[in-house]
Structure 1
Amino acid sequence: MNHFDIIIIGGGPIGIACGIEAKKNGLSYLIIEKGCLVNSLFNYPVNMQFFSSSELLELDNIPFISKENKPRRSEALEYYRRVVTTHSLNIHLFETVVNAKKNKEDVFQITTTKENYTAKDVIIATGFYDIPNPLDIPGENLPKVSHYYTDPHYYAGMDVVVVGASNSSVDAALECYRKGAKVTMVIRDNEISSHVKYWVKPDIENRINEGSITALFNSNLKEITKNSVVIDNNNTEITIKNDFVLALTGYRPNFVFLEQLGVTLSKDNNQTPTYNTETMETNVTNLYLAGVVCGGLNTHTWFIENSRIHAVTILTHIISKYRYCRF
C-alpha cells in the first residue's frame, strides 16, 4: 500500500520521534530518509561529543545510557538505532524525495527515487546539515576543499586551514593539531564564538595563545589555489602554504524543497519558514515542520532536546482535526 495517513521526510532523531507518535496513535505512516539512519549524525566527526547530556537526547522515555554525561557520536548512533528497532518503525532508508505536491483532492503526492506515495499529512524533519554555506571564492571547488570534517588522521603532517570559529571548526582545529597537522584558523570575527562548548573553549584559546594553533582573526579567505591560500587579514593580503581547507562555514535547510511545497520564507536574512508555533503547521494546510528545519538560517535556535516536543505537538493537532480515529 502506497497511501499513508502521514509521510515523514527525514529519518533523524526528530523524524523518528514523529514516527513513534504516529504509531502510538494508530496512524499509518512512513519515514523516508535519503541516507542511512540518522544520516546527519552519521556524518558528524567521528570523535564528536554532544553539548547536551544524554537524557536530553532521549526519545519516548527510552533511557540513553552513555559512558560520560555528554555522549559521543558512536553512542548516539547506537541509541537511535535501538529506538527504531524497539518500536519497529516503518522507515525507508537511502530513498530520496525528488518531488512533492498536492493534487486536486488536497492529498500530497510524494515521488522518490524508488516509489510514488500519497498522504493526507506530511511532516518535514530534514534538518539543515545537507547544504553547506558556500565561500563563493575562486578555488572553492578544488579537491582539497571540504565543507565536512570527519577524521583528523587524514590531515596528519599537512598544512590545514580551518575556516570558522564555531564548535565544528574548533573541534577540527584541535583534533588535527593533535594528530600532527599545522593548523591555521581563519576567523571572520575578533574572537572564538561564544557558542563553543564551555569545556572546549579554554582549550582552543590556550592552544592559540601558546602558538600551537595559528588564529587569524578579522580575516576571510579570498582565494584557494593548489598549494596555497590567499587571506584578507585585517585588510592586509597574505598568502600561506596550504594542503587542505576545511571550510566549516555552517549549513542551511533545503529552502528550494520547502518553497516547492509552497512554504513561504521570511524576507530577512534568516529565511525562517512560516509555521504556527502552537501546531507546527505551515502556511500549507496539513504540512508540518519539525526540528531544526524550523529555524531557517538561524541554526542555533533548535536542537534535539528542545524540538523533541514537536512530534507530540504535531500529532496532537492532526488527531484534533478528527480526520482519523484512535485505535
Structure 2
Amino acid sequence: MEILDILIIGAGPIGLNCAIEAQKNNLSYIIIEKGTIVNSLYNYPLYMRFFSTADKLEIDGIPFISTAPKPGRQEALEYYQGIARQKELNIRLYEKVLGVSKKDNLFTVGTTKAQYRARNVIIATGFYDIPNLMNIPGENLSKVKHYYTEPYPYARQKVVVIGASNSAVDAALETYRKGAEVTMIIRHSEISKSVKYWVKPDIENRIAEGSITAHFNSDMIEIKENTVVFKDQNHEIHEIDNDFVLAMTGYLPDFKFLKNSGIELQGDGLNPFYNPETMETNISNLYLAGVVCGGKDTHLWFIENSRIHAKMIINNILLNKK
C-alpha cells in the first residue's frame, strides 16, 4: 500500500488550498470528500451571496472574477471546482472517512471505499454537516427543515423561521416574498448584528411594518403536525397554525469524529486543541484547517481568514521532514 505524505479530509476551499500547497512542494497527497467538490457550498441556499468580496475568497492567488460586488453560490462553485480541474487535484469524491488512527508514526484512514496510509493527516471538514438541534418534541417531523435551499416550496404556506442570523433572515425574506405567511421565533432581543449590512434594514423594516411577524426573547417548546408551540418574553405559551418550520439554528463540526481521531476537546468539550502557529493538534502530524478549528464557535473562522492555514501546515510538515 502506498504511503502518502499527506491525506486531506474535506474538499472545501481550505482543503483544496492545502492540496495546492502540497502539490507545489512535491508532496504526495490525496483529498477524501464525502460529497462533491466544495460540498458545503453546493448545499448553501441557491441565491446566497457571500459577506466577503471576491478577492477575500481567492486561494493560491488565482483571481476570482465576479460580476457583482458580493459573489454568489454559483460563482463560488464555478471558481473552486474550476481550480480543482485546472490544477488536476487528486480527489476522491463521494467517499466518507470512517476513522483515523495512528500507529508507529503512520496514520491509517479507513473510508467507505478503501483504506489509506499517510505520514500526515489534515482535517478540513468545516462545520455544515450537523445541525445544531433544539432537542424539542416534534423536531424530527418531516415539515421541519434544518437546511434552506429556495423559497418556492413555501408559497402560500404558514412558515415559522427559527433564528435571527443570516440564514434565518434570508429564509424569512425570501419565503415572504414568494407569498408565505412568515413568523420568526427569536431567542434574543434583536436581529443579529452579524447579519449582512445590506439585508439587516430590509428584515427590520418588514418586521416593523408587520409583513413578517417576529417574537423576540422567545423559545420554541414543541412542534406539532399542524401547529407550533412557543414561549414569549413574558413566559406566556402560544400555539399557532403552521405548515413548515425552517430551523436555522446553526451547525456544528463532527465532534465525535474529532474525538475518535484522538483530538483533545477542551473547555466544555466543544473546542478542539491545536497549535495556532502550526495548526497541529495534540496528535503529532494531525492538523486542523479552516472553520473546523473554531469548534462550537463557528463564527470565528471563514474562508478569508483561514486561507493562511494551508501554508502554515505545509511549512510545518516540510520542517518536520528535515
C-alpha separation between the residues in 1 aligned to 2:2 and 2:80? 26
* Deviation of 1:213 (Å): 0.4
C-alpha separation between the residues in 2 aligned to 1:61 and 1:69? 19
Measured against aligned partners, the alpha-carbon deviations of 1:98-142 in whole angstroms (never above 9, x if no partner) come to 111012x22100010000100000000000000001111100000
Question: Which residue of the partner structure matches residue 152 of structure 2?
Answer: 153
Question: Which residue of the partner structure matches residue 39 of structure 2?
Answer: 39
C-alpha separation between the residues in 2 aligned to 1:67 and 1:240? 43
Percent identity of equivalent pairs: 61
Alignment of 1:266 with 2:266, yes or no, is yes
C-alpha separation between the residues in 2 aligned to 1:117 and 1:16? 19
Task: Please give the secondary structure, in 1, of the residue aligned with 2:283.
Answer: coil
Alignment of 1:283 with 2:278, yes or no, is no
C-alpha separation between the residues in 2 aligned to 1:200 and 1:2? 51
Measured against aligned partners, the alpha-carbon deviations of 1:59-109 in whole angstroms (never above 9, x if no partner) come to 111110111111000000000011111110000110000111012x22100
The one-letter code of the counterpart of 1:309 is: I
Measured against aligned partners, the alpha-carbon deviations of 1:262-311 in whole angstroms (never above 9, x if no partner) come to 11111237x21101000000000000000000001101100000000000
* Deviation of 1:233 (Å): 1.1
Measured against aligned partners, the alpha-carbon deviations of 1:141-189 in whole angstroms (never above 9, x if no partner) come to 0000011000100111100000000000000000000111000000000
Moved over 2 A (4+): none
C-alpha separation between the residues in 1 aligned to 2:2 and 2:42? 28
Within 5 Å, which residues of 2 pair with 1:22-171?
A: 22-103=22-103, 105-171=104-170
Task: Please give the secondary structure, in 2, of the residue aligned with 1:321.
Answer: helix
Question: Which residue of the partner structure matches residue 238 of structure 2?
Answer: 238
Task: Please give the secondary structure, in 1, of the residue aligned with 2:204.
Answer: helix
C-alpha separation between the residues in 2 aligned to 1:268 and 1:301? 17
C-alpha separation between the residues in 2 aligned to 1:253 and 1:100? 16
Point out where structure 2 has 5 or more consecutive residues left out of the alignment: none
Task: Please give the secondary structure, in 1, of the residue aligned with 2:272.
Answer: coil
Question: Which residue of the partner structure matches residue 256 of structure 1?
Answer: 256
Question: Which residue of the partner structure matches residue 8 of structure 1?
Answer: 8
Residues 2 and 147 (structure 1), Cα distance of their counterparts in 2 relative to 1, 3 Å cut:
farther
Task: Please give the secondary structure, in 1, of the residue aligned with 2:16.
Answer: helix
Point out where structure 1 has 5 or more consecutive residues left out of the alignment: none
Question: Which residue of the partner structure matches residue 292 of structure 1?
Answer: 291
C-alpha separation between the residues in 2 aligned to 1:318 and 1:19? 13
Task: Please give the secondary structure, in 2, of the residue aligned with 1:259.
Answer: helix
The one-letter code of the counterpart of 2:42 is: F
Within 5 Å, which residues of 2 pair with 1:287-326?
A: 287-322=286-321
The one-letter code of the counterpart of 2:67 is: K
The one-letter code of the counterpart of 1:9 is: I
C-alpha separation between the residues in 1 aligned to 2:18 and 2:291? 14
Question: Which residue of the partner structure matches residue 216 of structure 1?
Answer: 215
Residues 11 and 252 (structure 1), Cα distance of their counterparts in 2 relative to 1, 3 Å cut:
same
C-alpha separation between the residues in 1 aligned to 2:206 and 2:82? 39
* Deviation of 1:321 (Å): 1.1
C-alpha separation between the residues in 2 aligned to 1:206 and 1:130? 32
Q: TM-score, normalised by structure 1?
A: 0.97
C-alpha separation between the residues in 2 aligned to 1:146 and 1:171? 14
Count of aligned pairs = 321
C-alpha separation between the residues in 2 aligned to 1:183 and 1:150? 16
C-alpha separation between the residues in 1 aligned to 2:201 and 2:253? 31
The one-letter code of the counterpart of 2:254 is: N
* Deviation of 1:2 (Å): 4.1
C-alpha separation between the residues in 2 aligned to 1:214 and 1:310? 42
Task: Please give the secondary structure, in 2, of the residue aligned with 1:4.
Answer: strand
Task: Please give the secondary structure, in 2, of the residue aligned with 1:46.
Answer: coil
Conservation of the 8 A alpha-carbon contact between 1:2 and 1:116: no
C-alpha separation between the residues in 2 aligned to 1:188 and 1:2? 52
The one-letter code of the counterpart of 1:65 is: I
C-alpha separation between the residues in 1 aligned to 2:2 and 2:109? 10
The one-letter code of the counterpart of 1:48 is: M
